[in-house]
Amino acid sequence: MGKRNYSLFGPDAARAVESGLTAAEWYHTEVPRKVMKDLMARSDAPAIRDTIILYGSMILLAGIGIALWPSWWSAPFWLAYGVLYGSASDSRWHECGHGTAFRTPWMNNVVYEIASFMIMRNSATWRWSHARHHSETYFVGRDPEIAVMRPPEVAKLVLNFFGILDVIAFIPRILRNAVSGPTPEERTYVPQSEWGKVQRVAIVYVAIYAATIGLAVWMGSILPLMVIGLPRMYGAWHHVMTGLLQHGGLADNVVDHRLNSRTVYMNPISRFIYWNMNYHVEHHMFPMVPYHALPRLHEIIKDDLPPPNRSIAEAFREMWPAILRQVRNEDYFLKRALPPTAKPYREDFHQYVPGMMRPAAAE
Amino acid sequence: MPWIDACSTDDIDAEDLIRWDHAGQTFAIYHSPEGEFFATAGLCTHEQVHLCDGLVMGHLIECPKHNGQFDYRTGEAKRAPVCVNLRTFPVKVEGDRVFVEVA
């Protein structure tokens, strides 16, 4: 049993409020208003292009997979389809949830709803949990989207590369949402005006899965589930791999995204799947900047940030030992050095919750 | 209620906003694409983030923290996570000065 209590009703949640942590102002790199306006400008073109490529590829790959089924020759096509279904949907859910991917609101909403279904997140619930994740990023007991809780349970992290725990958690939750609306915990961050929508969305999801399972039983084959549902598991590995890097091994209960988020240079295919969220410090500091402008934002503010990791592999080599060390000492975290051009970390920013960010715990 | 001289018309680019503080209150003053001026409360009704760092798109102001949107002409909340409307204030332009009627 660790010292941290991640329950949204627990003592750490209360302490984060009482100490003033939740009301504290986050650090931001200074960017001139005109430059920021240019970076924030919305455009439909990049996201329409990417969405056509994404959904076109999914239809093609699933079509070949179905045509070759049940031969093992279909396997590579399912694996590629699965990553687009079970991982690219995570980044589409994320960007369209922010409303920044497209300029046109209905386009954001359509892709958000499709992506939410594929990634198995109630679209009416998770929009609100993600708002909290941005307000109170990695505040223990307040952020409902902490991927690596301390002390880390490494077996659970590994299982989730196949979406196992996420899917196991999703099934009872969506059934409960369909029967009685949001859970008590969800009601802490979803406004009451949205509770009916949470239930309606859940009923639609349950109906689609029931129809898919019914079709599979009628056909006597898992093929329908290879198209809908199972790719959330066999294709989850990429979004878990990139998602762990966002905040893994870094500080919690701080108000400077340079301390709790990680930017990693990635290959173009991973950046397409991840929609540039590898620029994660930049995204958290300026969530209004669309994914397609994040590389430009990175160039502008990088001198005020810790140096980015040079690759996914290099980032894992940094993060994984830190996570393993947190198993033994949950207060440990990585504190990356800033370049001389950066404004220094302000230790006084981070003393809100006693014991949570002792300088001695960091390296 | 007094009309307060808030800023010059040149202080705000078209389709943009500025922050204006007066008598312990904070406001946002907008310059619409059509050249009209509007004023609202300065803080988002969701989590008290100042709107001055947000993005004006047509007649919408988007909060810089969670991307909630308001119609700054009416204060109407237009996009989650904002649910509560934004307070608006009357504005008039005399010469090159923008006046806000502060309650």
Find the closest chain B residue to A31 by CA distance.
Answer: B53
Contacts of A123 (CB under 8 A, 6+ apart): A112, A113, A116, A117, A201
Contact A127 B64 (CB under 8 A): no
Instruction: Tell me the chain A residues in contact with residue B16 when contact means C-beta distances shorter than 8 Å.
Output: 37
- pLDDT mean values, one per 10 residues, chain A (363 residues): 84 87 86 93 96 98 98 98 98 94 95 98 87 87 89 92 94 97 89 92 98 98 98 97 96 93 98 98 95 98 97 98 94 93 80 47 49
pLDDT in tens, B34-85: 999 999 999 999 887 899 989 999 999 999 888 889 999 999 999 888 889 9
Write the CATH number for B48. 2.102.10.10
CA B78 distance to own-chain centroid = 15
Q: Helix or strand or coil: residue A63?
A: helix
User: CA–CA separation, B75 vs A10, rounded Å?
Assistant: 36
Find the closest chain A residue to B65 by CA distance.
Answer: A287
Percent helix, strand and coil across chain A, each rounded to 5? Answer: 65, 0, 35
Q: DSSP secondary-structure letter at B9?
A: G
Please report the pLDDT score of residue A357 as a whole number. 47
Please report the pLDDT score of residue A25 as a whole number. 82
CB contact A134 to B (< 8 Å): yes
CB contact B19 to A (< 8 Å): no
Contact A131 B66 (CB under 8 A): yes
User: Across the interface, which of A135, A286, A288 has its CB nearest the CB of B62?
Assistant: A288
Instruction: Tell me the chain A residues in contact with residue B31 when contact means C-beta distances shorter than 8 Å.
Output: none
Type of residue found at B72: Y
Please report the pLDDT score of residue A190 as a whole number. 86
In total, how many domains does chain B have? 1
Please give the full DSSP string across A40-61, using - where no structure is assigned: H---SHHHHHHHHHHHHHHHHH
A59: tokens are: 């239809």
The pLDDT-based confidence of B1 (bands split at 50, 70, 90) is low
CB contact B80 to A (< 8 Å): yes
User: Are the beta carbons of B48 and B98 closer than 8 angstroms?
Assistant: no
User: CA–CA separation, A300 vs A29, rounded Å?
Assistant: 10
Measured in residues, chain B has a length of: 103
- Domain extent, residue B84, equals 3-101
Contact B80 A194 (CB under 8 A): yes
Please report the pLDDT score of residue A355 as a whole number. 44
Contact B64 A286 (CB under 8 A): yes
Q: Helix or strand or coil: residue B4?
A: strand
Contact A134 B65 (CB under 8 A): yes
Instruction: Tell me the chain B residues in contact with residue A193 when contact means C-beta distances shorter than 8 Å.
Output: 83
Instruction: Tell me the chain A residues in contact with residue B57 when contact means C-beta distances shorter than 8 Å.
Output: 42, 103
Contact B66 A191 (CB under 8 A): no
Please report the pLDDT score of residue A360 as a whole number. 42
CB contact A7 to B (< 8 Å): no
Q: How far is B2 from chain A (nearest CA, A)?
A: 31
Find the closest chain B residue to A192 by CA distance.
Answer: B83
List chain A domain ranges: 11-361
